[in-house]
Amino acid sequence: MADKRAPLRILLVEDDAAAAKLYRWVLMNEGFEVLLASSGEEGYALASEQTPDLIIVDVLLPGMDGYALCRRLRQNVVTRTIPILLISAKSDIADKIAGLEAGADDYLAKPFHPEELAYRVKALLARYQSPVFSGANAYARGKIIAFFSSKGGVGKTTIAVNLAVAMRRQSGSTVALFDADFFFGNVGVYLNLPTVYSVLNLVPSADHLDTVVLDQVLLPHASGIRVLLSPYYPEEAELVEAHHVEKILGALAQTYSYVLVDCQASYDERTLTVLERADVIVLITTPEVGAIKNTSRFLELAEKLAIGPERVHILVNRSDSDVGVEIGEIERTLRHPVAFQVISGGRTVVFSVNRGIPLVMDHPGHPFSQQMLAIAEELMAAMPARTVK
């Protein structure tokens, strides 16, 4: 998806109106958008709401001073990774150290030439925006596996959750599970996790994610996998945009050997971003005419999106259904091989889902779990992950 880049936004926290006017002019001349705050409190509120790309903080502010503001910004998960440039009339080394200790990334002593301000801002942004987490090599490491269906309720979440646990169990590799069903994500429920943090906490710093933030926002699960939940409130789902998803996937693939993504059954731009970025799409269907028809439509779309057929692995869930369409018939209709078949695990699977404990953990010997473990092996053999970190 095209990522039309908006101008970078800088928050300037400066109580001296004349100085603020000058800095603003300098920065706008460089093409930045500038937000202004004249106190620490106002700066903190704007930073949390607007999540600018960089914050310039004057040390001497009424009320909360620049050091205190830096500390608060560093404690808040939505602002903790935003680069901060401290500016101050105090220029001795102790002041600089105090600023850096408070969490600033750079320190500029007044008076300074406007060009130096512009230079420092650009250097700081370049350092933050070019590191390992952005750019073309963002997908060079872990493998991304998307779980998708073009009809709801066919078992995506059940299978994604169990396969994530199975992959971890079989290989000991690092595994992240990303609930990209932004409206009605169920991964948290299926794994019995509280929505302490969700993908929303990554949105503000999507352009400069690092392992510290990921570590905090991805919840640890007893199985050893890490989980990135979808927003608690469906109405917040719109805040996650396709370009955020792209950046988040890049960062996850930098950090984890396998990144499993549970998608929503829709063609919105965020889902298409996941599908385009995925190394493998596990396309799930049930052996029913309606589900197969929709799956066929998806295969046509995949072709238009230049998603090669080799990346699409069809999984027929509840393939043992005695009223279902036969596998050979499905393959002929879809003109695509069926890679995996999963039996109906009956009530045991449903109970495990309701209890929030994946069947692979609870009953690894159950035929459904055995199939999950086998599919996990097969996927990993097809996509040996490079060791990440």
Ligand X SMILES: Nc1ncnc2c1ncn2[C@@H]1O[C@H](COP(=O)(O)OP(=O)(O)OP(=O)(O)O)[C@@H](O)[C@H]1O
Q: Rounded CA gap, 171 and 150, in Å?
A: 30
150 binding ligand X? (CB under 6 A):
no
Residues 262-281 that bind ligand X (CB under 6 A): 265
Which is nearer to ligand X, 72 or 221 (by Cβ)? 221
Structure tokens at 149: 């269906």
By CB under 5 A, the residues from 206 to 235 that bind Mg ion are none
Q: How would you classify residue 356: left for phi > 0, otherwise alpha for psi between -120 and 50, otherwise beta?
A: left
Helix (DSSP H) and strand (DSSP E) numbers for the chain: 15, 13
Between 102 and 263, CB nearer to Mg ion: 263
Question: Of residues 181, 207, 246, 276, which one binds ligand X by CB under 6 A?
Answer: 181
- DSSP letter (8 states) at residue 187: H
For residue 349, which of 327, 372, 383 has the smallest C-alpha distance?
372
By a kind-dependent CB cut-off of 5 to 8 A, residue 87 interacts, out of ligand X, Mg ion, none, with none
- Binders of ligand X among 186-215, rule CB under 6 A? 186
Tell me the C-alpha distance between 2 and 21, whole Å: 34
CA 173 to CA 119: how far, in whole Å?
42
Stretch that binds ligand X, among 104-112, 115-123, 273-281, 347-355 (CB under 6 A): 347-355
Asked whether 283 and 298 are in contact (CB, 8 A), the reply is: yes
Quote the least distance from Cβ 16 to ligand X, whole Å: 54
Q: Is 93 exposed, middle or buried (0-12, 13-18, 19+ CB in 10 A)?
A: exposed
User: In whole angstroms, how close is the CB of 309 to ligand X at the nearest point?
Assistant: 22
* Binding residues for Mg ion restricted to 179-198, rule: CB under 5 A: 186
For position 158 contacting ligand X by CB under 6 A, the verdict is yes
- For the bound state, the minimum distance from the C-beta of residue 183 to ligand X, rounded and expressed in Å, comes to 10
Contact 343, 320 (CB under 8 A): yes
Subset of 231-260 contacting ligand X (CB under 6 A): none
| Binder of ligand X out of 353, 357, 361, 376 (CB under 6 A) | 353
Task: Give the bridge partners for 261, in sequence order.
Answer: 146, 178
For residue 281, give every residue at least 6 positions away whose Cβ sits within 8 Å of its Cβ, in sequence order, or none: 145, 146, 147, 148, 275, 302, 307, 311, 312, 313
Binders of Mg ion in range 155-174 (CB under 5 A): 156-157
Q: Is the peptide bond before 111 cis (omega within 30 degrees of 0)?
A: yes
Q: Single out the segment in contact with ligand X by CB under 6 A; choices: 21-29, 37-45, 153-161, 302-310.
A: 153-161
State the minimum distance, in angstroms, from the CB of residue 349 to ligand X.
Answer: 4
Range 297-356, binding Mg ion (CB under 5 A): none
What is the nearest approach in angstroms of ligand X to the Cβ of residue 286? 9
**Contact between 88 and ligand X per CB under 6 A:** no
Candidates 173, 285, 317, 369; binder of ligand X (CB under 6 A) is 317
Please check whether residue 258 is in contact with residue 167, taking contact to mean a CB–CB distance below 8 angstroms.
yes
Query: Whose CB is nearest to Mg ion?
Result: 157
- Report the interface residues with ligand X, using CB under 6 A: 149, 152-158, 181, 186, 265, 317-318, 342, 344-346, 349-350, 353, 368
- Report the interface residues with Mg ion, using CB under 5 A: 156-157, 186
